[in-house]
Amino acid sequence: MNKRTRLQSLLLYTLVISLVVFCVFPFLQILSTSLKHPIDWGNPSLIPRVLHLDAYKELLGLMPPKEADIPASIQRLLDNPALSAEKKQQLLAKFSSGGDVFPFGRYMLNTFAISFVTAICSTFLASLAAYAIARLRFPAQSLMANGVLFVYMVGGVLLMVPLYQMSVSVGLASSVGGTLLSLFLIYLIQTLPVAMYMLGNYFRTIPFSLEEAAMMDGCSRVEAFWRIIMPLSKPMLFTVFIYCFVIAWNEYLFASVFLKQYQDFHTLPLALQTLFTSKNAIWDRIMAASMLTLLPVIICFMLANRHLSGGLTDGGVKG
Amino acid sequence: MSSVLIKNEASLGLKLVAPAVGIIGLLVVYPILFNLYLSFFDVQLNGNKTFVGLQNYQSLLSNPDYYHSVGVSVLYLIGTVIGTTVLGLAAAILMNQSFRFRNLARGLILLPYFAPVISVVFGWQFIFDPVNGIYNHMVVDVLHLTDTRENLIGNPDSALLVVILFDIWKHFPIAYLLFLAKLQSVPKDLYEAAAIDGQNAWGRFWHVTLPELRFVIATVVLLRVIWNLNRFEDVYLLAPNVETLPIFTYYQAFAGLVDQGTAATISVIQLLVLVALIWLYVRKVLKW
């Protein structure tokens, strides 16, 4: 093709830069606000006047505990030498146990645990099923292939009432363990169809002759799958794993329905929403928490980026 | 193949799909049927039910709030489907050009799609914050378009626009990826032939790109409708006052005067619409 004129180049770069800015601006806004001191919030510039890391320190538990505000009457009591040291401790504890400490690390760990377990199980179960649907002939095979597609498009909103009622009626919703199990199973069905669809399409691109050759050499079908297909699919398996992990990491609806009463087991999306609507809604803390919630996703994204575009267009078009 | 081998293959196949299909059957197929069943009951949060027949359907279909949220959903669908498709197409054509830092740009524009909704909604909330936000700063202080700072997200009417814009921002990358994949497979000589015929850039777009892409465009539009019909989190977390159908259902099921039977009823109706759309997708789009 002919070379671009200078005007065309200028136009092209202007459009590209506008598009990238449109995509990235909200992220810059989050980062910038998380680093700004409250007095600086009205400042429209994205660059903070002074770097203010308190919000991060607070969330990550790096802040020295705040000096408790002790009323004068209590202070007089404390100064009384007749009071035993133990009593003084108890009194002090009442005022220094700042009820508004936000256990961010704990929420992050909860979210990581459930997302990790979901992604592992989902990728594993999906690879078995996807292999069968892509390669083996068995009754109801095409029904299942189409069924996956259908299930993959039924959103969680349509299932929230029956799933909630089911877990109530079998008694899972009344205990912490049961609730966590329900949530894990729900995350599994949120990710399984996507994973099956992506892996099924990928397995079909691997030449069958490779398995055939292995089977000629005496491998059973299962061994051929395990020794030939799985290693060849590593990049895709990894991509699917990341994709499932991110879906579970981001999930809000079912977490909010099931975990509402078990505050210790909240996941990040639920915790952030609670933080936002609570009295602690302070922009720098919200933004720092958002930034920290984003971070693992961005890391996953960078790890999987090379295979992501292909994997998504091959079928993983959820969302 | 001998019949023994065929039998073995079939039994292995069934064994491999059994766990996944079992879970899907238990947690998707059964709940869909259970939902239909629940729609004929007055259902409490604790699981108590009383049979009410078609009463949920009658009261829902005579409830103006339901029609209001159907209307909001339709506006939301029109805005987001057109927006994501057009922007996705434009972005794909742009990113199909060669320029410096193209890979970086391609990576960056996928970010909104992957980012957790819960994180990015706060960024958007801040942008439209009446006191500190850049939007009001630009409109009032810099461009002097209006005199008063407005809380765009606080007002349900304008919040719908923000929600649509947010959805376009967040979901155009998936349309972009589908378009880009197709664009890369359009034969170069079609463009060269069009250039020889004296077509300018616009003509090449109109006579080559669009016809080549028409099936992908249809796919994207249909998939956007299917996904956005069920979209809950993006809307609820950014602007809970925009009552699209999923939000309306959520409020019926878990907030205020809890009425899970009605919520089930809404889901049944919505599922029927969805099944029709998926059928269209499978019959038309996948056959192309």
Q: Which helix (H) or strand (E) holds A242?
A: helix A234-250
Identify any residues that bridge with B41 across adjacent strands, giving them in sequence order: B51
What whole-number distance in Å separates Cα of residue B45 and Cα of residue B40? 15
Contacts with A250 from chain B: Cβ below 8 Å: 116-118, 233
Nearest CB to B249: which of A146, A157, A290? A157
Name residue B26's amino acid.
L
Interface check for B205 against chain A (CB to CB < 8 A): the answer is no
Name the maximum alpha-carbon separation found in chain A.
Answer: 94
DSSP B43: E
Sign of CA dihedral B222, B225, B226, B231: positive
CA distance B46 to chain A (A): 7
Give the confidence band of B232 by pLDDT, cuts at 50, 70, 90: very high
ipTM of the complex: 0.89
Q: Which of A1, A11, A30, A161 to mutate to test the interface with B (most CBs of B within 10 A)?
A: A161
From first to last of its 319 residues, chain A has per-residue pLDDT tens of 456 788 989 999 999 999 999 999 999 999 999 999 888 887 888 888 888 888 888 888 877 665 556 667 777 777 777 777 777 777 666 665 545 567 889 999 999 999 999 999 999 999 999 999 988 888 888 888 888 888 888 878 889 999 999 999 898 888 999 999 999 999 999 999 989 988 988 898 888 888 888 888 888 888 889 988 899 898 889 989 998 999 999 999 999 999 988 988 999 999 998 888 875 568 888 999 999 999 999 888 888 777 666 666 655 455 4
Q: Which residues of B touch A150 (CB under 8 A)?
A: 278, 282
pLDDT at A1: 47
Question: Which amino acid type is present at position B116?
Answer: P
Size of interface A-B (CB pairs under 8 A): 279
- What pLDDT does A137 receive? 87
- CB contact set of B68 (below 8 Å; sequence gap of 6+): B243
pLDDT at B69 over 90: yes
* CA distance between the termini of chain B: 32
3-state helix, strand, coil in chain B (%, to 5): 75, 0, 25
- Residue-level pLDDT at A17: 95
For the entire predicted model, the pTM comes to 0.88
Q: Which residues of B touch A111 (CB under 8 A)?
A: none
User: What pLDDT digit, counting tens, does each position of B108-144 carry?
Assistant: 999 999 899 999 999 999 999 888 889 988 888 888 8
Across B185-209, average pLDDT? 85
Other beta carbons less than 10 A from residue A269's beta carbon: 25
Residue B268 has pLDDT above 90, yes or no: yes
Residue B224 clears pLDDT 50, i.e. is over it: yes
Residues 13-72 of A with CB under 8 A from B: 13, 15-16, 19-20, 22-27, 29-30, 33, 41-42, 44
Residue A247 has a pLDDT of: 92
- Please tell me the distance in Å from A19's CA to the nearest CA on chain B: 8
* Mean pLDDT, rounded, for B56-68: 94
